[in-house]
Structure 1
Amino acid sequence: MTTETYNQALLTLALAGIDAINTSASQHKAVRTAAQESHFLCNWMVESLKTKRFSKLMADDLTAWISQARSQGAGAQLKQRLTCIADQYQQVNNSAIATGTGLKNLLTGLAAQEWVVVTDTDIDAKLKINSDGKSSLIISAKEFNQHIVDDKIVKPISMYIRGDEKLVARLALEQGVLLSQGNKKTSLIKHHKTYVLIPDNLHSSLCLLCLDLY
């Protein structure tokens, strides 16, 4: 028996939500405002959570989105969020680029934009990197050299980033790679956040989304 992954459960939810709001919109002649769309999706999520329509893997995300919609209204961007999830996760699923190759292409792209990219130093204690004000991305040499086999990421890789995370997420997505959310507390590099790459992009929680594209 195959266990459903977080990615599969998330994509199922996102596609169902998009279908629900599109079906509802086709049944109404007047164009809905962003606030009305948010209200509809919030109610749909509440009902989905109550009836346990989706995998229990989605419970925390649904709870968080419902809370955001109730406090922020249209500012919660529920429709954009679901559309972004559906597009982003399907794009990665359909990518022909091996994850290790994708990571190396990402680093090359950032270096071309004058980022400081460091992959030749072991990172096993807290450090401070002098990048002369430039954006920077650091990966421990041990992980970079040992966690990529046959052009694929086979073990988690931590990237320490100081710079525009939206740019990194967008470039990574083009290479078929998903980043975790950033975390300041786990970073070993001062003024940087930790972003993790996982084999086959199988994160156990929501990845960093490119919401600015929607």
Structure 2
Amino acid sequence: MAIFSQEIYKVVTIGLNALELSQASGKTPRNPVSEAHYLSAWVTKSLKQQSFDRSVVKTLMMWQQQGRSMGKNAQLKLNFECLAETFSGVVNAEGEEKHITHTTLQGFYAALEHDDWLITKEFEVNRKVTHFTDGQASLVVCSNQLQNAFDEQGELVKPLSLYVRGNIQPFIDLAFASGLLLFKVTDYKSKVKYHGEFVIYPANNGEHLPELPTRNL
């Protein structure tokens, strides 16, 4: 089976290119309604023809349903563009995924601390725990999981949970600026009371759609 993140990047890139070609040929007008109709039909066609690996079928079906029920309000083009920009932001000049290392994570910690986040990574999170922060934005990482997530060369080789309490969008943006994509497990309830849970994966190869950073237009 193909890697989900690589395959979904291929999906949105091909979809946007197909839309652009259709518009350039005059077949699809450049307006939100026509673009939504085109991409919705393109997703349905891709499913029927099994154009992509089965790892992305559930996501394509979700987009198909959104396109049918919401029309232009599904914002498929915008979603495709944001995903394409997000994935392109975590690969190197050759289009290869960047490895996540201890250095990557340390840079992320430094950016968070600069924005007055409290970072706790000295304790195990192996059961439901309470972490008091007096209202300060908080990141908790299980010490045992952190130790086992990296190999001897300092490269992330296992998924790592980040327990988060605070303004999530700036957290996502700082992670992205540090070369990390975040994959949401829960907004609020997790092993750490009042903290949501997000996961970072080796080489940012998550198993579903990542959280999207703020778009710079």
TM-score (norm 2): 0.88
Q: 1:182 is paired with a residue of what secondary structure?
A: strand
Runs of 4+ in 1 over 6 A off after TM superposition: none
Structure 2 gaps, min length 5: none
Structure 2 match to 1:198:
201
Q: 1:153 is paired with a residue of what secondary structure?
A: coil
Aligned partner letter, 2:104: G
Structure 1 gaps, min length 5: none
Distance 2:82 2:154 in 1: 27
The verdict on how the C-alpha distance between 1:78 and 1:180 changes in structure 2, with shifts beyond 3 A counting, is same
The verdict on how the C-alpha distance between 1:36 and 1:164 changes in structure 2, with shifts beyond 3 A counting, is farther
Structure 2 match to 1:130:
132
Distance 1:71 1:212 in 2: 26
Q: 1:117 is paired with a residue of what secondary structure?
A: strand
Structure 2 match to 1:101:
103
Aligned partner letter, 1:45: V
1:158 aligns with 2:166: no
Identity over aligned pairs, percent: 27
Q: 1:121 is paired with a residue of what secondary structure?
A: coil
Aligned-pair RMSD on alpha carbons? 2.2
Deviations along 1:162-184, one digit per CA (max 9) or x if unpaired, are 12222222222222212112325
Q: 2:103 is paired with a residue of what secondary structure?
A: helix
Match of 2:192 among 185, 189, 194: 189
85-94 or 115-124, which moves further after superposition? Answer: 85-94
Aligned partner letter, 2:139: L
Offset at residue 39 of structure 1 (A): 1.4
Q: 2:161 is paired with a residue of what secondary structure?
A: strand
1:115 aligns with 2:117: yes
Paired residues of 2:28 and 2:34 also in contact (CA < 8 A): no
Q: 2:23 is paired with a residue of what secondary structure?
A: helix
Paired residues of 1:99 and 1:177 also in contact (CA < 8 A): no
Structure 1 match to 2:81:
83
88-97 or 63-72, which moves further after superposition? Answer: 88-97
Paired residues of 2:163 and 2:190 also in contact (CA < 8 A): yes
Deviations along 1:51-97, one digit per CA (max 9) or x if unpaired, are 11111111100110111122222222211211122222122121656
